[in-house]
Amino acid sequence: MSRTTRRTFSLSMLAFLAACGSPQQPRKFQRYDGPPITQIQVNKGQRRMHLLSGANVVRSYDISLGFQPVGHKQFEGDGKTPEGVYFIDRFNPRSRFHLSAGINYPNERDRAFAAAHGRDPGGDIFIHGRGPEGNNLFPRQRDWTAGCIAVSDAEMEEIYAAIQIRTPVVILP
């Protein structure tokens, strides 16, 4: 067998084995081709989050909140999910909660309130999937995050694809 023939045969066998040897992994990153998402609305009391395009609800999700869900987040470790108007300010494709999109909490008002009480406002508030940790807690414990908004991993894949930096996040009591 010539060198070229052996190389072609080897490459063909590798392609065959790659195609047949293991099941395909689910896609973590999806494409979104729907209407532009202009706002995320979170209703803490109803445990629902809506993706909006203008005034139209494009998609809705059941959510989990911080382990002390009633009231506005004020201090680090209080277990509350913020309330008010925020924005998506970052994405984390390597989140321990599958995928996550950061919310710009604390804002200036949140920092000023915490400082007036000699406390830290906390931070690192995200919309995220459950990941292994959340899957172990949910549904036995509905609200289990440190103040974040959690959805299933599959739902987070949809959300991650649909939203952009600076998407407004309106969090209602």
Q: Tell whether pTM > 0.85.
A: no
pLDDT in tens, 32-45: 999 999 999 999 99
For the chain, what is the domain count? 1
Are 83 and 172 spatial neighbours (Cβ–Cβ below 8 Å)?
Answer: yes
pLDDT of amino acid 43: 98
Q: Is 3 contained in some domain?
A: no
Q: Is 162 contained in some domain?
A: yes
CATH of the domain at 114: 2.40.440.10
Q: Is 23 contained in some domain?
A: no
Q: Is 83 contained in some domain?
A: yes
Q: Is 77 contained in some domain?
A: yes
Helix (H, G, I), strand (E, B) or coil at 169: strand
Question: What own/partner pairs with CB < 8 Å and gap ≥ 24 does 44-50 have?
Answer: 44/69, 44/70, 44/81, 44/83, 44/171, 44/172, 44/173, 45/172, 45/173, 47/142, 49/127, 49/149, 49/151
Q: Is residue 26 scored above 70 in pLDDT?
A: no
Q: Is 81 contained in some domain?
A: yes
Which range marks the domain in which residue 135 is found? Answer: 30-172
CA 169-64-115 angle, to 5 degrees, is: 60
